[in-house]
Amino acid sequence: MQHRIAILFSLLITIHLQLNAQNMQTGKYATVNGLKMYYEIHGSGSPLVLIHGGGSTIQSNWARILPELAGNHQVIAVETQAHGHTPDIDRPYSFEQDADDVAALLKQLHIAKADIMGFSNGGTDALQVAIRHPEVVNKLVLIATTFRRDNLPSGFFDGFANATLEHSMPPPLKEAYLAANPDTAGLQKMFDRDRTRMMNFKDIPDADIKAVKAPALIINGDKDAVLPESALALSHLLAHAQVAILPGVHGEYIGEICTPDKNSKTPDLVTVLINAFLKG
């Protein structure tokens, strides 16, 4: 019995070391616009950039669907300023800056053109990539994307002034951040940065969105934090857009960490939709 336990223990240690080695090989840093930006590359094929939502990490946002996407694409998953492994720095904090960082990363990786996919705040980032750096964008996947203040329910912005890390940030997102970066001061800084950015959110001009020529797949939940009718409004502004309104709350359709139904099959459907759109 003791021999079997020793073998099992040895096997568990080996697996643990292999997983750690794999993560170390996958996760890298690039200095872009003065920021030490963390990114991971998974799979092979046509490049696909994944941009997480506010308060999130690669794992908390994309863990459910990333493996399937990596079966068809070279997935470049990033963590934006102040999120997860990527530290904050003393500079303006904006969706436009995130977009510039993503474009600079692609240039460093010698990737001339990529599909860009973002969720929530990451969707706004992705839209800004297409507006500010159209030359690097092949196709867009915009998931629960805010582009105007009226995309969100009435009263949504009212609570930000008094929002606190302790009472306003979902525990799974806190835990995911600390798993990537065990720095409570960094967690507070990320929360403050995201809160202030949303309080000061300004509408993206319609003319800027209409100038985007990249084909886009717009995905939204029918009970989303972002109103489903805003997805239709965005599709009317973009020159080449398709829309999918799916059952579920914010992020449920991609298996985001905070969603209640962990056994939902909708993320499986969504990956089929995304892969079909990007392949077409």
Whether residue 137 has pLDDT greater than 50: yes
Query: Is residue 8 very low, low, confident or very high in pLDDT (cuts 50, 70, 90)?
Result: very low
pLDDT at residue 122 in the model: 98
What pLDDT was estimated at residue 50? 98
Q: What is the pLDDT of residues 192-208, one digit of tens each?
A: 999 999 999 999 999 99
* Average of per-residue pLDDT across 2-14: 40
Rounded to a whole number of angstroms, the CA Rg of the chain reads: 19
- DSSP 8-state code for residue 204: P
Question: What one-letter code names the amino acid at 96?
Answer: E
Which of the residue ranges 8-12, 176-180, 201-205, 266-270 would you say has the lowest mean pLDDT?
Answer: 8-12
Domain residue spans of the chain: 28-279
pLDDT at 3 (0 to 100): 45
Taking the C-alpha atoms of residue 57 and residue 172, their distance in angstroms, rounded to an integer, is 11
Residue-level length of the chain: 280
Residue type, 217: L
**Mean of pLDDT values over 92-117:** 98
Q: What is the helix (H) or strand (E) element at residue 168, kind and residue range?
A: helix 165-168
Residue range 28-279, CATH number: 3.40.50.1820
Is pLDDT of 16 > 60?
A: no
pTM > 0.85: yes
Average pLDDT for residues 5-15, to the nearest whole number? 38
The CA distance from 123 to 100, in Å, is 14
**Long-range contact set of residues 90-93: C-beta below 8 Å, sequence gap at least 24:** 91/33, 91/34, 91/35, 93/193, 93/196, 93/197
Query: Hey, is 183 helix, strand or coil?
Result: coil
Share of the chain above pLDDT 70, in %: 91
Count the Cβ atoms, other than its own, within 10 Å of residue 207. 8
Per-residue pLDDT reduced to its tens digit, 34-78: 999 999 999 999 999 999 999 999 999 999 999 999 999 999 999
Residue 18 confidence (pLDDT): 40
